[in-house]
Amino acid sequence: MEPLSDDDLVRMYRQGDAEAFDTLFDRHYGSVYGFARTMLREPAAAEEVLQETFLSVARTASRYTPRGRFRSWLMRIVRNRCLNRIEARRRRRAALAVSGPDVADLPAREPAPVRRAQSHEQQALIRAAVADLPDRQREAIALYAFEQMSYREIAEVLQMPINTVKTLIHRARANLARALEPLTQEPHRELRRDL
């Protein structure tokens, strides 16, 4: 028996099947959280966006037109939620710059994780390099590399032409290659020291 499609699950949810919604959640929560984490760079904010996104899906499922593009529709909701938070954060910083920060308003900082192995350090460098990309490049590469979306799906989510998506991904790859060049050269430096 073939697994139910996302569109089938949405139809079932509309007819009152709560388990269908649970299946949609289980199928997509990792992608939603991962993309939100890449966009927002904060685990707590990504968790909130995850919850807001699926609440929005539950509320607006009746407006979704089943065309086999549920994932694109879902990721567009996530993106819009993230962009709203980024804009609110920007406005808040601007207001703080004008009025000066109130200690109670400053966000709590998470302690930096302890690096236990070189692979953790490399992952941190990669995450930092992705986080430093311009917003549109970060969005495109996150959907392409982490969420395995096609150019067409990314174009739907970002609401831009496919050629623009291709350009963004190409530029993101080039920027990441430059940023991560020291990482790829590290073993060679150690090797030279040993000689």
How confident is the model at residue 106, as a pLDDT? Answer: 43
**Which residues have C-beta within 8 Å of that of residue 78, sequence separation ≥ 6?**
32, 35, 36, 39, 49, 53
pTM for the model stands at 0.69
pLDDT at 115 over 50: no
> Considering only CA atoms, which of 73, 92, 109, 85 is closest in space to residue 36?
85
The pLDDT tens digits of the residues spanning 121-166 come to 777 778 888 889 999 999 999 899 888 899 999 999 999 999 999 9
Tokens of 35: 């993309």
Radius of gyration of the chain (CA): 20
The pLDDT tens digits of the residues spanning 67-89 come to 889 999 999 999 999 999 999 88
The pLDDT tens digits of the residues spanning 25-79 come to 999 999 999 999 999 989 999 999 999 999 999 999 999 988 889 999 999 999 9
- List domains and CATH numbers for the chain: 1-110 (1.10.1740.10), 116-195 (1.10.10.10)
Do residues 162 and 155 touch, judged by C-beta distance below 8 A? yes
How confident is the model at residue 112, as a pLDDT? Answer: 44
Q: How far apart are CA 102 and CA 61, in angstroms?
A: 41
- Is the Cα dihedral 159, 160, 161, 165 positive or negative? negative
How confident is the model at residue 183, as a pLDDT? Answer: 67
Helix (H, G, I), strand (E, B) or coil at 99: helix
